[in-house]
Amino acid sequence: MSSKTFHCRYDTPPLESELAPVPYHSHYLPPELTEQEVIFHARRSLNQGIDLSKIDITINLSSALINISKKDLVTKEKLEKAGFNSVKEYLMMQAKKGKRVTNLIKHSAIYQKAIVKNEYGGVFPIINSLKIK
């Protein structure tokens, strides 16, 4: 099975169309996410032809973080320079960041599904540059 990787930049300013509200959908968001941010990610991904519902966001974060600390990728000296008091504090911050990214993808996928349903008749649009023959 061949897997394809598509890259989508979220660090560039959003287009006005990517900030368009989604008045036909709303649901609870974790406190670390804003509706505008989730809608932006849903629409930016849609514009790039990326179906967020197809992204596997299952992450075994605890074992990944343990492997980071065991491999000495994080030294006390590096942590102190970065302003952390301990490896545990650093790992907790990384886990929190990982959970935020996971939640962002999950909730953006929900909004994207509503956008596709209401604005594209339920059919995910195919971007010309990404058509595979």
What pLDDT does residue 56 have? 76
Among 52, 59, 48, CA closest to 105: 52
Confirm if 31 and 107 have CB atoms less than 8 A apart: no
The one-letter amino acid code at 52 reads L
What pLDDT does residue 16 have? 93
**Highest-scoring range by mean pLDDT, 3-7, 30-34, 52-56, 65-69:** 30-34
Confirm if 34 and 41 have CB atoms less than 8 A apart: no
Predicted TM-score of the model (pTM)? 0.76
In the chain, where are the structural domains located? 32-125
Helix (H, G, I), strand (E, B) or coil at 86: coil
pLDDT higher than threshold 70 for residue 60? no
> For 106-131, how does the pLDDT look when each residue is reduced to its tens digit (9 = 90+)?
999 999 999 999 999 999 988 754 44
Separation between Cα atoms, residue 26 and residue 31, nearest integer Å: 14
